[in-house]
Structure 1
Amino acid sequence: MALFNKIAYRYDQWYQTPRGSCIDAIQKKLVWDMAEVTAGERVLDLGCGTGNYTLELARYGCVTTGIDLSAGMLAAAKSKADAANCKIDWIEADFLKLPFASATFDFVLSVTAFEFVADPRAALLEAMRVLKPGGRVVIGVLARDSAWGDLYRKEARDNPDSVFAAARLYSAGELRELFPDCRCIKGGLFVPPGPPEIEVVEAMALENMGQLQYNNSNGQIGNPGFLVARWDKPFDKI
Structure 2
Amino acid sequence: MKTVSNCVEDILITQPYLEEALSRNIINFSALALELTEPISNMLKKDVKPGAIMMALRRYNPPMALTNSVKMKKYMQNLGDITVRSNLTDFTIKNSETIIDNHAKILERINQESKLFYTFTRGIHESNFIISSSLKEFIQENLKNETFIASQDGLSAISINLPQDNSKISGLYYHFFKRLAWEGIVLYEVISTTNEFTILVEDEFVDKAFAAIKKLKN
Interval of TM-score (by shorter of Structure 1 and Structure 2): under 0.3
Normalised to the residue count of structure 1, the TM-score between the two structures is: 0.24
Say which one has the larger Rg. Answer: 2
Identify, as 1 or 2, the structure richer in helix: 2
Normalised to the residue count of structure 2, the TM-score between the two structures is: 0.26
Identify, as 1 or 2, the structure richer in strand: 2
